[in-house]
Amino acid sequence: MGVKLIALDIDGTLLPYEGPYKGELSPRLRSAVRALVEDGHTVVLASGRMRAGVMSIARELGLDTPFVAQEGCLIADGNGEITREIKLERRLALAVSDYAREAGYDYEWFNSDRYAVTAESPATQYYAELGEVTPEYHPHPESLGIEPSGVGVLGDRDSSSAVHRALEELHGDALHLLDFPFVTVALAPEATKGNALSLIAGDLGIARRDTVAIGDSVNDVSMLAWAGLGLATAKADRRAHAAANESLPDEVDAVAKALEALL
């Protein structure tokens, strides 16, 4: 396989959740990305963060390539201009909001630039900080004129499975559902990192077999499965491990070493 395109998740992959480089881009990682770019490879970021939050990491790495944000809802060029955006049908967004209210959950609406939520919490503050966006708190986010990319039902680790099952029973394949520790996100079916990666590869004329993806979470499953080579981090979600071709060792700078091996 002649690797031409490498897609990298950010949080939990480039920015580990623990260890000596917790939440940081290690010097070795920065050097590996720079070496790949100088060698003619295309490196793209694919994240659940909002657009501004992805752009910040791209700038830190010196990347001016297209990137994927919001779980695959949007693709932007190197300047941050949106080239593709997938919205959730309003009737479905309203239906998810109705379910959340009736079940007693707080909920959020978001698009490329706005993030509105019914109540403040550590989880909402964390997402807003990662996305570099000012959260809007309102009892009815749907009334704020946001054309949503997605709607999130806020809960906890114990409730996410129940929320997922309920929304799946109500809407079936009309929603793409992602379960995170404190939120279940409802998106359009085609809003996935895998789909976004396939579109970028197509635009660049790069074959699927010449792509590599590295990730750690449920939102990375689609791109790990789509890429010619999918690599899951050692502490990845079980679904990410299942979708990947290989898993990286549990050691410091494992992602950087994997990138060096592509040179």
Q: Which of 231, 232, 218, 226 is nearest to 201 (CA)?
A: 226
Which pLDDT score, from 0 to 100, does residue 157 have? 81
CA–CA separation, 249 and 28 (whole Å): 16
pLDDT averaged per 10 residues in sequence order, the chain, 263 residues:
93 96 97 98 97 97 97 96 97 98 97 95 93 96 97 90 95 96 96 98 97 98 98 97 98 98 95
Which pLDDT score, from 0 to 100, does residue 159 have? 87
Domain 5-85+191-261, CATH: 3.40.50.1000
Which pLDDT score, from 0 to 100, does residue 229 have? 98
Sequence ranges of the domains in the chain? 5-85+191-261, 90-187
H runs (alpha helix) in 105-248? 122-131, 160-171, 193-204, 221-226, 238-243
Range 90-187: architecture per CATH: 2-Layer Sandwich (3.30)
Which pLDDT score, from 0 to 100, does residue 1 have? 57
